[in-house]
Every structure is written in C-alpha cells, then in structure tokens.
A and B are shown apart, each in its own frame.
Chain A
Amino acid sequence: MQPLLQFSHLAFGYRKNRPLFHDLNWVVPRGSISAIIGTNGSGKSTLLRLACGMLQPSGGRVLLDGTDIARLPDRVRARRIAVLPQLTCRDLPYRVRELVMLGRLPHRSLWQRFTDADSAAVTAALADLDLADRGEDFFPSLSCGEKQRVLLAAALAQEPALLLLDEPTSALDLCHKLRLMALLHRLRRQRDLTVLLVSHDLELMARTADSLLLLKDGRILAAGKPETVVTTPLLRQAFDSPVSVLPGPDGAPVLIPDAESIDTEQAGKNTYFSGLKK
C-alpha cells in the first residue's frame, strides 16, 4: 500500500537539551487503520500533533502524500486531515449541529454561506455517530461520552483523507467503542479513509487496527501487524509490568496481568498503591 503519511528522520523535543524523538521513521499506509500505543509520556499524543502540523519538528519532515505538511495552507491541510484532540470534557456553548457544522469550515471561505452539501455532510456525520436526533441539544448538557462523539462527528464532517484521533474511545461505553471501530472500518472501505489513533485500549487495538506502533520514551520499540507487536515480551518491556498475552477464544490477544502484580503484599510496598492499602 502507498504511504499516505510518512515520518521521515523526525526529531522533536519540548526542551532543547532533552529530545523526545530522534531520527524517527514510520509510514502510515493509505486506507489503513493504525494505532500508536505505549506508556504515559512516551510521545503518542506528541507524534499525533506532529502528524497534523500542530507542532513543528526540530529535524526531519512529516509528509502527506509526499508533501511536507508544514507547507500546506491551513484550510488545504484541514480538508485533508481532521483531528480529534484528547477529550477534556469542555463546555462549548453551542448546539450539537452548530458545532458539527464547524467541521465544514475548511470547505468554505469565511464569507461563503454553507450549502446543502455541507448540511448533508453534517447530517450524515451525526447519523454515523448515533446523534441524528440530538442536533438541537446544547453541547454542555451532554455526557462526556456524547461530547466525544459530537467532536468526532465534527471531524468526520470535514470529510478528510486522514483522521487523527487522540484516545477517541476514552469516554465511550463498550457499545459505542465497538460501534466506533466498526464505523472506522466502514469509512475506510467506503471512502478509503486512513485513520491514525492513539489508544490505551491495547486489546481493542490489537483486534481492530491493521498496524500498531509501540513507543517507549520516544523510541519505536516495535511496529507492524498487531500479532507481532502485542506480545508478552514486548509489552513487559514497554510497560515495565508483569503482563501476559494469551490467545482469546477467537485467537485475538487477551492481556492478563500476572497474579503477583496485584498481590496485596506487593501493592503495599508500592507507593502508587499505598492509598488503596488503607
């Protein structure tokens, strides 16, 4: 498959003397669903921000279809790439439909009226996210999970070629988690949509993503098909946790923490769990 997004010799750091990424190379194939996994602070969200040009690399390039995204004008870039940032449960004083309509901004200049095509895209995005009858609701009156779906609908209304999602399932219930992954697969088939997402839900990603990137401290520990990345030795190395990967009933991996890791005596020695001991 042709790469849609390419990280080429990427270097980046929030502080000059402490680089997070150094000479990072990775490609996201067109029409694929790829997930970045790893520990907190390993650089997952930072890589996503570099992917959409929100952050500028100190070295190397991020290429979209062979073009450096730093060179793309804002509106052109937003027509190709949609971003769902990490959910902060913010209260935005808009009605649901008004908010999703903002996803059409890149398709119209600021003084152009929205057209029927824009309206249709918004209606379709709302229906896709199970929000068809919630268009007139006020955003602040929604639950966190519903807010996450509304912002995702706005990203879908952009009709992008590449969808970047930062922990899109963090506030979703089991039903909507599965529906979201099914929707992403359907959009991939129908629109040739490419999805790059960050997630802590390793089992879901192993089951639904085409390829995984496992990060630790800004380094690529492993990249490739889920079965080559979600393995006991790699996860133990990445997460410093005694966890085992076992095949589930359908062969997909299931993560089981080793018994001693939640041993109460062990937990007592660990300051992180000390609050629970009481």
Chain B
Amino acid sequence: MIIKWPLLVLTALAASLLALCGGAEWISPAELAAPENQLIFHLRLMRLTTAFLVGAALAVSGAACQAVLRNDLAEPYLLGISGGAGIGAALAILSGLAAVSAWAMPIGAFIGAMASLLAVLLPVRHGDYGNRVLLSGVIIGSLCGSFLMLLVHTMGDRELAGIVWWMLGDLQGRDWPLLTTAGLLIPVAAAVLILLGRAVNALSLGGDLAYGFGISPARCGRLVLMLAALLGAAAVSLAGLIGFAGLIVPHITRRFTGADHRRLFTACFCTGGTFLILCDLLARTLMPEQEIPVGIVTAFVGGPFFLWLLYRKNGA
C-alpha cells in the first residue's frame, strides 16, 4: 500500500481540531474563539501540542530502535529509558525541587533516562547491537525499577500521587518554555534520523551487510540509538511513561510506507502525534468529570488493535 502524504497531514489536522473542541465539555470552533473561552483554548492547545510532540517522538524513536536492534519488540523503554527517567523524576520530587520549578521533574527524568541508556550501551562492543542491547536494557530497566520502588516506598501521600500520575502518563502541559524546548529538540532529532534514513535501511539488514555498504554498524548504530534515546527521554520528560505508542505506531505505519526508513520516520512523526492526540481525547472524554491517565488508554486502544492486525496478517 502506498502512503498518501496529504491524507496523513489532513488526519493530523482533523484530530487536532477534534482535540481542541472535545474534552469534559464540547466547545465548537466558533465558541472556542470567543474571549471567555481563551483560557480553555490555551490549555487545550498546550495539551494538544504536548500530545503531538510526545507521540511523534515515541513513534520515531520506536521505529529507529526496531531497525537498529532488528527486533520487532524494541522500543525506547526497552533501552532502560523508563527506569532511569523514573528515578530522575522521583528524585526531583523527593528533593523538593519539583515544587520549586516546573522544569525540575522533566530535567531529572531526562538526565536519568540518558544515564541509564549509557549504562545499557556500555557493555556493548563492536556494533554488536541486537539481543545484547535488549538484554542489557531489560536488566538495567529492572534494576532501576527496583530502585524506583524503593524511592516510592519512602514517599509521602502527596508526593506519591504526583509520581503515580506521572508513571501512567501525564499530558497536562506545564509551561510554554518547556514545551518550546521540547518542540525544538524533538523535530530536530527526528529530522536527523530522517536524514540518516538510508543508513538505517542498511543497519536494519544486519551489521555485516551494512558494513559492506560502507555504513559502520558501531558508529552509525550508536548514533541512531542515541538519537532514539534522546527522543524517548524528551517524551518521558514531557509526559511521563506512556507505553505502546513507540511499539505499535511504527508497525502500523510500516504497513503503509514499506520498510524505507526515510519514509517511515517521516510518516511516524505524523501518525505517532495523531495517535496520541486521539488517545488523549479519549482519556479526557471516556469518563465524565474524570480524566484517565493517557498511558492506560494507549494500552487499551493499542494492544487489541495491534493483536487484530497480527491476526489479520497471519490469516492473509
């Protein structure tokens, strides 16, 4: 199947419009422009932007991880990013910095995510990516998980509520400067990955073939993984832990783009963003007067849909 780019952009725009109007209360586009609704418009726009950026970052990151590690199950969180980010965020809350600045938790999560990624890549030599990185990621992830639970164990009730909400995905934008920083970082990292798309094509064939085509699996593979981790860490710092988006969106998108990673990364940026905008819309509207953490919605929506795709593929 060939991807239709205008259709992709139109879908993203339609989803954005729906997300601006939808929520606890439906507000039509005309009403949204009214001065008394400016605050709601402002909050929903910030939330929409956060959802798009996080979804795009997770999807592109997942597609890059799956290519370099040559594993369909690979996604940024499997590289130990979530565990490290969790520790960073928890430490920001426990130290009291999160109460002082809105930047403390995102920065803490980012530092934690990048530190755990370095620990994951440390034992990997000679571009031997694949199972070794995944195993290393799982081990570092579970170590971080245990340490995070220890930190959570020592938290008070108020701090606990903050970290639990964050661990289930929280798309409430904090402030525009933070969003602007991520809004620069995420598209730039995604653009570099799109530029590296052909090299990623070669890497996805395996180290020996990539080497033969003049692409160093060690250097280029590490660069792609670092960019993927950067995107994952940026997403985690903005919105906490949102599973499934990095796993399923690339798989679904690949069915329309084929395996060429320049097309796949570009399309994933759009489909990932749209997917999370729609999931967030569901999270805000499914239960009246109560918001569900978006991570729960992505799992509920994404999981069965992915299974359905797999069954349909096997049956075909």
Contact = CB atoms under 8 A, between A and B. Distances in A.
Given A93-B259, A95-B258, A105 B202 contact: yes
B214 interface: yes
Interface residues of B, number: 22
Closest 3 CB pairs of A and B: A78-B214, A83-B212, A106-B214
B213 A102 contact: yes
A36 B215 CA distance: 26
B24 interface: no
A239 interface: no
B132 interface: no
A207 to B, nearest CB: 27
B204 interface: yes
Contacts of A155: 212
A94 B259 contact: yes
Interface of A: 52, 54, 74-75, 77-79, 82-85, 90, 92-95, 98-99, 102-103, 105-106, 110-111, 151, 154-155, 158
B147 to A, nearest CB: 36
B195 A111 contact: yes
Nearest to A155: B212
Given A110-B195, A110-B199, A74 B208 contact: no
B206 interface: yes
Given A93-B259, A110-B197, 6 more contacts: A83-B208, A90-B205, A90-B206, A98-B259, A102-B201, A151-B209
Contacts, number: 66
A83 B258 contact: no
Nearest to A92: B205
Contact of A52 (B196, B211, B254, B260): B211
A110 B208 contact: no
B198 interface: yes
A78 B199 CA distance: 13
A78 B212 contact: yes
Nearest to B199: A110
B209 A85 contact: yes
A79 B204 CA distance: 20
A209 B160 CA distance: 73
B216 interface: yes
A93 B261 CA distance: 11
A82 B212 contact: yes
A54 B211 contact: yes
A75 B198 CA distance: 13
A102 B258 contact: no
Given A92-B204, A95-B258, A98-B259, A106 B213 contact: yes
Nearest to A166: B208
Contacts of A75: 214
Contacts of A93: 204, 254, 258-259
